[in-house]
Amino acid sequence: MSPALASALAAELTRRADEDRELMRQAETIPPPDHRRRIAQCHRDNAEALATIVRRHGWPTAALVGAPASTAALMILLHAPDPGFRRDGRDLIAQAVAEGHCPAIHLAYITDHCAVDEGQPQLYGTRIDPKTLRPYPIRQPRDVDERRREVGLGPLQEQLEALGIRV
């Protein structure tokens, strides 16, 4: 891939992720039905754009588009409305991690997201239930901090405290 194309893809992914973050930031000022519709449309549009990028160029790894844009692609994937697309993306990220082209932390986030989608316990404790403000169920919770350390995440208790959650 040419540097110009990689730069254009990086800019597009980053722009889309920034738009998503801005819509989330505006949550308090936009009436709920309008807000939900705008966010849902943003997530659909972003997922469609990411799917096109993936079909044409493969997963946008840090090696391909740079770390910030690769992280933006992960955020877009996490918010994609299609669970099948998220699972496919998880598999592509797993391959990229195995090849050293993507940070393992990306795999941790999408793995937990897919597990929660499927009603399974998560591995890394990255997903918090917004109703209970506690992590969704975790597989083998006594070993969670070891798994988190292996992918570059800090201890779960530290993450919860940073979010203002007391367990």
Distance, CA of 30 to CA of 10 (rounded, Å):
29
The last residue of a domain, from among 78, 102, 126: 102
Same domain, 51 and 62: yes
pLDDT given for residue 167 in this prediction: 64
Within its chain, how far is the Cα of 151 from the centroid? 15
Instruction: Indicate whether 47 pLDDT > 80.
Output: yes
Query: Domain boundary at 102, 121, 153, which?
Result: 102
Element (H, E) at 128: strand 128-129
Give the range with max mean pLDDT: 14-28, 101-115, 127-141: 101-115
What's the pLDDT at 32? 76
Claim to verify: residue 86 and residue 118 sit in the same structural domain: no
Residue 129: which domain range?
103-167
Distance (Å) of CA 43 to CA 21, 80, 81, 144: 11, 6, 7, 30
Domain tally, the chain? 2
* pLDDT mean over 157-161: 90
> Percent of the chain having pLDDT more than 70?
98
Band (132; pLDDT cuts 50, 70, 90): confident
Residues 28 and 69 in one domain: yes
Please indicate, yes or no, whether residues 24 and 95 belong to a single structural domain of this protein.
yes
| Residue 33, CA distances (Å) to 40, 65, 135 in order | 11, 35, 27
Same domain flag for 41 and 30: yes
**Looking at residues 149-157, what average pLDDT do you find?**
95
Give the whole-number percent of the chain exceeding pLDDT 90.
80
Whether residues 2 and 39 share a domain: the answer is yes
Same domain, 107 and 41: no
Does residue 166 or residue 117 have the better pLDDT? 117
Q: What is the pTM for the complete model shown?
A: 0.91
**What is the pLDDT, as a whole number, of residue 130?**
86
55 has pLDDT over 80: yes
- Within this chain, do residues 78 and 145 fall inside the same structural domain, yes or no? no
